[in-house]
Amino acid sequence: MGKVIDRNIDIGPFVPAPDDDMLICRCEEVTKGEIRKAVHDGMWTMTEIRRYLRSGMGLCQGQTCSRLVKGIVARELGVSPADLEPATARSPMRPIEMKIFGCEEVDA
């Protein structure tokens, strides 16, 4: 389980970095700079970051970027990635069309 990160710690101001334009979430096209800024805007959990930026909420559902985003957020907060609770795992685990998601098969 992730640790509860103390919200009172001072992580300092957002300092721009040369690789801020690096794309991290390939589906929703979210950059490293946007993720770092979001942390300074107060988004300290993986779930908050997801909701704020939509990173990991595109077609692939975070298959590729989750680990990368976690690393960036952890570094910004000065904690280990292992201390961060991953975003909530919920159905559907894979991209799925709403019309299928809503189509409950009744046993024949």
With 0-12 / 13-18 / 19 or more C-beta atoms within 10 angstroms meaning exposed / middle / buried, residue 9 is exposed
22 sits near another protein (criterion: CB under 8 A)? yes
45 sits near another protein (criterion: CB under 8 A)? no
Tell me the site size for another protein, rule CB under 8 A. Answer: 35
Residue 10 or 107 having the CB closest to another protein: 107
What's the Cα-to-Cα distance from 32 to each of 1, 7, 108, rounded to whole Å? 25, 22, 50
Residue 43 or 79 having the CB closest to another protein: 79
81 sits near another protein (criterion: CB under 8 A)? yes
- Residue 59: which of 96, 90, 30, 22 has the closest Cα? 96
| Residues in contact with another protein by the rule CB under 8 A | 1-2, 22-24, 26-27, 29, 32, 58-60, 63-64, 67-68, 81-83, 86, 89-96, 99-101, 103-105, 107
